[in-house]
């Protein structure tokens, strides 16, 4: 099998680091905090007034004021926090797992990423990963040629 074929066969996308919207295990940051605002917005304004999204302030406030925070908010906050942590772990893991392949196949490539929507669709279609697999997915964008390495996220199923 030539290298290109090998590469495209190995392409896997569980969630592009950004486009994880709609997935059960991780969601985009935007969707995560939208859920937080919807289910906790009123509680935050009432119980955690003046506190901010950064530095765990909302989580700390909820812990200190457990009785005053609605059960819906408590539940959503837990899910959102877990989702964000999971996504960060996945992203960190991706770079670790893919570091070797990136150096080997994409050394010197400019414009890291260049993930295109069409490539995302294509890689999803070609997906051949089994549950539990954690492999590095990488592809060469046919539109941009060999010097455009596309990093896609590692499989997380």
Residues contributing to the site for another protein (CB under 8 A): 17-19, 28-34, 36-37, 40-41, 44-45, 49-56, 84, 88, 91, 111-115, 117, 151
Give dist(CA 35, CA 22) in Å, integer.
13
Q: Cβ closer to another protein: 16 or 129?
A: 16
Q: CA 89 to CA 62: how far, in whole Å?
A: 24
Q: What is the CA radius of gyration of the chain?
A: 19
- CB-based contacts of 61, cutoff 8 Å, min separation 6: 44, 47, 48, 51
Q: Contact at 8 Å (CB) between 28 and 42?
A: no
The nearest distance, CB 23 to another protein, in angstroms, is: 14
CB of 131 to another protein, least distance (A): 25
- Those residues with Cβ within 8 angstroms of residue 57's Cβ, 6 or more apart along the chain or in another chain: 48, 51
Query: Cβ 130 to another protein, closest distance in Å?
Result: 25
Output 5 or 106, the one with its CB closest to another protein: 106
Please identify, using beta-carbon distances, which residue of 40 and 131 lies nearer to another protein.
40
Question: Taking a C-beta distance cutoff of 8 angstroms, is the pair 27, 148 a contact?
Answer: no
Give the nearest distance from C-beta 49 to another protein in angstroms.
Answer: 7
Cβ closest to another protein, residue 5 vs residue 110: 110
Q: Identify which of residues 10 and 51 has a Cβ nearer to another protein in the complex.
A: 51
Least spacing, CB of residue 48 vs another protein, in Å: 8
Query: How many whole angstroms separate alpha carbon 90 and alpha carbon 85?
Result: 9
């Amino acid at each position: 099998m030539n290298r290109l074929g090998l590469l495209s066969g190995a392409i896997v996308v569980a969630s592009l680091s950004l486009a994880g919207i709609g997935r059960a295990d991780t969601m985009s940051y935007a969707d995560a905090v939208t859920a937080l605002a919807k289910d906790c917005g009123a509680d935050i304004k009432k119980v955690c007034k003046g506190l901010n999204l950064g530095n765990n302030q909302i989580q700390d406030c909820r812990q200190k004021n457990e009785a005053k925070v609605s059960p819906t908010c408590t539940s959503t906050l837990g899910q959102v926090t877990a989702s964000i942590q999971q996504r960060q772990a996945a992203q960190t893991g991706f770079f670790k797992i893919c570091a070797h392949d990136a150096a080997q196949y994409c050394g010197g490539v400019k414009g890291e990423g260049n993930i295109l929507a069409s490539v995302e669709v294509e890689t999803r279609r070609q997906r051949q990963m089994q549950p539990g697999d954690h492999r590095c997915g990488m592809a060469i964008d046919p539109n941009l040629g060999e010097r455009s390495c596309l990093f896609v996220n590692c499989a997380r199923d």
